[in-house]
């Protein structure tokens, strides 16, 4: 019994001393980093005259540079403190990280990112989670390395646990997600399936315009990587984007993201099958005060109309021709070019003079097939619509052009010019 008790006591003592050894080793590394940092930034902070006192009970910094002492204590509390101490440390980290980029990189070297990411988990109080997110936002500012370290520490999994986040914290969460999603521009792999549920939840809830804009920025960043298109399409992101594109404050980001998706086969198919297309896009063409939205909407309509007689028929039935005439006369330079190109395709289809690379292509069918009858009716309908729109709207359009009849006549003459291209030029 004595031997057993002695063995147990020896084992406990050994374990205790081993933990002390690990702490001493950890703070020894902090001391080296702080000394190196103080030496390399003498001009900014002045010479460092501080020392580090280490014993079994406490490690503390004594010197003239208060921020270094606060940083050292904050790192210790983040790793070994209680939840309240970690929250206080996160507040100090947020303050210190906002000063300069060099300090943010130093903090990452000191290992503050993993404990801050852990604080975003659902087991912590909402206030603590918010403090951790604010600190991570500061650490991610201006450094892709820190952003990558935050992602590798598992931040998306922690954010996934916070779908029902309180309204006041949504902008900060959305800002952090958008900041990290910009890593795709540096070819850093981002698992969009972990963050889409939270982003979509914030977009579809009664969030502020600021939060929605930040979430749209995240979707735009993700759409820049071709590997994310599948998850964006299958998660009904396109329907959400189409709805938000009808809100003028959010239209540009939503349409820009749709423009990235429509050039892929999956994205184009999803747009073609949406009940909101082409009506919502045609409506955006009428926004005279949002030229960028007009340009993006016309671009998406060009992609959909190219080589698709069905989509052009849907557009014609939706009244796109007179609206395109208006954009061709009064829109921005780029919007005018795209509107004229679309009108040329409608004219080409009416005249059935499309070569192998001249605008949209249609399948030729025999005279006995039902498709030929439908095409003939479609041509007749389109011809009548073009003629009626030209006669009924020319006077109104000319007045809106501030009497610039020479410019209007030159634009209308362009509609008579045939052109060909192998791809979309605008």
Query: Rounded distance, CA 3 to CA 15, Å?
Result: 18
| Strands 59-62 and 51-54, bridge-based pairing | antiparallel
Tens of pLDDT, residue by residue over 127-162, are: 999 999 999 999 999 899 999 999 999 999 898 888
Query: Rounded distance, CA 227 to CA 225, Å?
Result: 5
Find out whether 132 and 90 touch, Cβ atoms under 8 Å.
Answer: yes
Tokens matching residue 100:
């300069």
53 bridge partner residues? 60
* The pLDDT value given to residue 359: 46
* The pLDDT value given to residue 54: 38
The residues of the chain scoring below 70 in pLDDT are 1-65, 235, 350-426
Find out whether 211 and 172 touch, Cβ atoms under 8 Å.
Answer: no
Cis ω for the linkage preceding 136 (within 30 of 0): no
- Residue 138: how many CA atoms within 13 Å on its side-chain side? 23
* The pLDDT value given to residue 68: 80
Find out whether 287 and 295 touch, Cβ atoms under 8 Å.
Answer: no
* The pLDDT value given to residue 384: 63
Query: Rounded distance, CA 74 to CA 49, Å?
Result: 20
Find out whether 175 and 136 touch, Cβ atoms under 8 Å.
Answer: no
DSSP state of 60: E
Query: Rounded distance, CA 178 to CA 137, Å?
Result: 10
Does this model's pTM top 0.95? no
Assign 3-class secondary structure to 305-365.
HCCCHHHHHHHHHCCHHHHHHHHHHHCCHHHHHHHHHHHHHHHHHHHCCCCCCECCCCCCC
Which residue's entry shows tokens 């190219």? 306
Find out whether 115 and 86 touch, Cβ atoms under 8 Å.
Answer: yes
Tokens matching residue 368:
């006995």
* The pLDDT value given to residue 66: 74
* The pLDDT value given to residue 254: 96
């Amino acid at each position: 019994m004595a031997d057993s008790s002695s063995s147990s006591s020896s084992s406990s003592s050994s374990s205790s001393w081993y933990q002390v050894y690990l702490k001493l080793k950890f703070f020894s590394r902090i001391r080296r980093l702080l000394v190196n940092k103080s030496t390399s930034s003498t001009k900014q902070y002045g010479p460092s005259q501080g020392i580090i006192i280490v014993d079994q009970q406490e490690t503390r910094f004594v010197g003239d540079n208060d921020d270094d002492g606060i940083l050292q204590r904050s790192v210790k509390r983040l790793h070994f403190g209680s939840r309240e101490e970690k929250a206080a440390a996160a507040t100090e980290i947020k303050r210190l990280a906002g000063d300069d980029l060099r300090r943010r990189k130093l903090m990452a070297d000191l290992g503050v990112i993993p404990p801050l990411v852990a604080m975003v988990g659902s087991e912590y109080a909402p206030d603590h989670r918010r403090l951790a997110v604010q600190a991570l936002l500061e650490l991610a500012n201006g450094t892709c390395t820190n952003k990558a370290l935050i992602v590798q520490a598992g931040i998306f999994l922690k954010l996934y646990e916070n779908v029902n986040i309180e309204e006041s914290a949504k902008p900060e969460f959305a800002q952090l997600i958008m900041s990290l999603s910009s890593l795709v521009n540096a070819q850093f792999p981002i698992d969009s399936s972990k963050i889409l549920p939270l982003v979509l939840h914030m977009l579809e809830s009664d969030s502020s315009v600021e939060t929605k804009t930040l979430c749209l920025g995240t979707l735009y960043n993700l759409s820049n990587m071709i590997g994310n298109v599948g998850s964006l399409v299958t998660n009904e992101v396109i329907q959400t984007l189409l709805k938000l594109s009808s809100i003028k404050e959010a239209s540009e980001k939503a349409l820009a993201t749709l423009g990235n998706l429509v050039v892929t086969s999956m994205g184009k198919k999803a747009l073609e099958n949406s009940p909101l297309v082409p009506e919502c896009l045609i409506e955006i063409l009428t926004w005279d005060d949002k030229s960028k939205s007009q340009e993006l909407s016309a671009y998406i309509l060009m992609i959909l109309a190219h080589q698709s007689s069905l989509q052009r028929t849907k557009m014609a039935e939706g009244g796109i021709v007179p609206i395109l005439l208006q954009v061709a006369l009064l829109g921005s330079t780029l919007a005018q070019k795209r509107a004229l190109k679309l009108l040329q395709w409608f004219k080409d289809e009416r005249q059935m003079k499309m070569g192998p690379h001249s605008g949209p292509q249609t399948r030729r069918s025999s005279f006995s097939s039902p498709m030929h009858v439908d095409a003939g009716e479609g041509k007749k309908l389109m011809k009548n619509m073009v003629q009626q729109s030209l006669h009924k709207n020319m006077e109104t359009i000319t007045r809106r052009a501030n009497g610039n009849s020479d410019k209007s006549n030159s634009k209308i003459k362009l509609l008579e010019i045939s052109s060909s291209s192998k791809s979309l030029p605008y």
